[in-house]
């Protein structure tokens, strides 16, 4: 399993209305796309977000997604905040 670090790169983008998290997170997933989808799923706000706009975590213009080979302790299918707490659990 790979670990990816996702960081906001456009904090003013309107898609942030569709996320409960707006800081750096790490996701354990097989591919960068899977990591983006996992974070979007764990941080979605449902019907209260901006309609018709995808999660910022799925948009390469709004967030980065970089493989972190030195990190191995995150379980598959989880998203972790910078303080070590789990997102969406």
**48-65: per-residue pLDDT in tens?**
556 678 899 999 999 999
CA pair distance 9, 81, nearest whole angstrom: 17
43 Cβ partners below 8 Å, 6+ apart? 19, 20, 21, 25, 55, 57, 79, 87, 88
Which residue stretches of the chain have pLDDT < 70?
46-51, 89
* pTM confidence score: 0.91
């Amino acid at each position: 399993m790979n670990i990816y670090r996702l960081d906001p790169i456009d904090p003013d983008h309107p898609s942030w209305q569709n996320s409960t998290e707006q800081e750096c997170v790490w996701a354990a997933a097989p591919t960068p796309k899977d990591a983006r989808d996992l974070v979007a799923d764990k941080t979605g706000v449902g019907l209260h977000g901006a309609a018709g706009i995808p999660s910022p975590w799925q948009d390469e213009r709004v967030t980065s997604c970089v493989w972190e080979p030195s990190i191995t302790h995150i379980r598959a299918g989880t998203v972790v905040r910078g303080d070590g707490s789990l997102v969406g659990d």
